[in-house]
Amino acid sequence: MPTCVVDLFCGVGGMTHGFHKEHFKVAAGVDVDSSCRFAFEANNAAKFVQGDVSKMSSEDIAKLFSKDDIRVLVGCAPCQPFSLYTNRESPDDKWKLLRFFADFVDGVQPEIVSIENVPRLTRHRVFKDFVRRLERRGYFVSHFLARGQDYGIPQRRTRLVLFASLYGQVKLIPATHSKSRTVRETIGRLEAIPAGGVCKRDALHRSRGLSEVNLRRIRATPAGGSWMDWDKELRLACHRRKTGETFRSVYGRMSWDEPAPVMTTQFVGLGNGRFGHPDQDRAISLREAALFQTFPKEYQFIDPDLTRVSMQSIARQIGNAVPVRLGRIIARSIRRHLNDWDVE
């Protein structure tokens, strides 16, 4: 029987592309953000369905699969409520998206389910409720913490990966890398560009401009350093307070021979984390972040029909994406499980 994947909260297709690279058929990706359509469809041979999952029915999802498919439902519900900066469940309604995902599982009854999210999700009742609902439906549920460096993702990134199967427990494949990929290995050969510059040969290799004071700040920051290396006159008022010492990584530079930090939607801004280039006086470019997210260099993000490139929009798309490499690891784990049960 053919295996078919539907990707909920698909964004520009990081998870989908992982399955695509592992030769799964992906029928569709679903996301509320219409700006993701071009990149998703241009790279994945799959349909982009713009829709708010809170307003969709199980029938809407079920019809994306063919009748005789082994159905695989995957997704990464937005995780803002479980941020490290949140000490308790957020009143934001977005955490309910995981319950909508569970509703779709109830209604569609896919043979395989997988979600990817932040590890802190396991501490919350919504996760425990999700697992119980799947188990009551007859699913064998397993979940793991996948350390990105162990799987060739050049970031200090650990993610929760959950599997549920009607056949038996799915296991995450063993680590594929004994040594972390570094910043140098990932972006070291790219052409140098200045702050605010664009590479003539690669439109995605562009960086945000810096004010004069921020240029002085980054020039005062060594590789691996941060605002704590500056003279006092360069420091912000918040850094001079005792509480400011807790944010040691902001305005930081990466280190060439270490993995990158976790990519966020704010990586284009120097003051939003350790997103300074190791030796060029700027924050990392869109291209560099896409490579840290393990998108292949041929992945298209810029719609040629648009006359203006929105760095903010593309940065959000890249930062929100599941790293492609993690998508491949999840897909391989499911492929091995299906082979073990001889159902494909």
User: Which CATH number do you get for residue 198?
Assistant: 3.90.120
What is the per-residue pLDDT for 90?
52
254 confidence band (pLDDT: 50, 70, 90): very high
Q: Is the pLDDT of residue 283 over 50?
A: yes
Asked whether 112 and 163 are in contact (CB, 8 A), the reply is: yes
- Strand pairing partners for 140? 165
**pLDDT bracket for residue 43 (50, 70, 90):** very high
Please, what is the average pLDDT of the chain?
91
pLDDT at 92 over 90: no
Residue type, 157: R
The answer to whether residues 269 and 331 belong to one domain is: no
Task: Name the band, by pLDDT with cuts 50, 70 and 90, for residue 79.
Answer: low
Overall average pLDDT of the 2-13 stretch: 97
Q: Which of 36, 79, 199, 238 is catalytic?
A: 79
- Is 115 within the bounds of a domain? yes
Is position 95 within any domain?
A: yes
As a whole number of Å, the CA-based R_g of the chain is 21
Is 313 a member of any domain?
Answer: no
Domain-embedded: residue 312: no
Is the pLDDT confidence value at 320 over 90?
A: yes
Angle at the Cα of 154 from the Cα atoms of 203 and 274, rounded to 5 degrees: 75
Same-domain pairing of 232 and 134: no
Same domain for 175 and 64, yes or no, is yes
10 is known as an active-site residue = no
Would you state the pLDDT for residue 273?
87
| Residue 149 belongs to some domain of the structure | yes
Same domain, 55 and 131: yes
pLDDT at residue 237, as a whole number: 64
- Please indicate whether residue 200 or residue 82 has the higher confidence score (pLDDT): 200
Residue 106 lies in a domain: yes
**Measured distance CA(341)–CA(344) in Å, rounded:** 8
Which tokens in the block code for residue 279? 């030796």
Q: Are 255 and 124 contained in the same domain?
A: no
Q: What is the pLDDT at residue 239?
A: 57
In this structure, are 333 and 281 located in the same domain? no
In this predicted structure, the answer to whether residue 84 has a pLDDT above a threshold of 80 is: no
15 and 61 both lie in a single domain? yes
In the predicted model, what is the mean pLDDT of residues 61-65? Answer: 97
Q: What percent of the chain is predicted at pLDDT more than 70?
A: 91
Instruction: Compute how many other C-beta atoms are within 10 angstroms of the C-beta atom of residue 69.
Output: 18
* CA distance between the termini of the chain: 5
Do residues 38 and 173 share a domain? yes
Whether residue 247 has pLDDT greater than 90: no
Q: What is the CATH number of the domain that holds 74?
A: 3.40.50.150
Which among 19, 52, 13, 5 has a CA at the least distance from the CA of 36? Answer: 13
Q: How many domains does the chain have?
A: 2
302: alpha, beta or left? (left if phi > 0; alpha if psi -120 to 50): beta
Higher model confidence: residue 286 or residue 238?
A: 286
Does 214 map to a domain?
A: yes
Q: For residue 114, is it within any domain?
A: yes
pLDDT of 111 over the 90 cut: yes
Same domain as 9, residue 157: yes
Q: Is residue 311 predicted with pLDDT exceeding 70?
A: yes
Write out the residue range of the structural domain in which residue 31 sits. Answer: 3-179+321-340
Answer yes or no: do 208 and 115 share one domain. Answer: no
Same domain, 173 and 229: no
Q: Please give the Cα distance from 22 to 18 (Å, whole number).
A: 6
Over residues 263-286, the mean pLDDT reads 95
pLDDT attached to residue 250: 81
| Residues shown for the chain | 344
Are 326 and 262 in a shared domain? no
**What is the predicted pLDDT for the residue at 327?**
98
Are 208 and 239 in contact, with CB atoms under 8 Å apart? no
With vertex at residue 332, the alpha carbon angle to CA 327 and CA 333, rounded to the nearest 5 degrees, is 100
Quick check: pTM over 0.85?
Answer: yes
Residue 91, pLDDT > 60, answer no
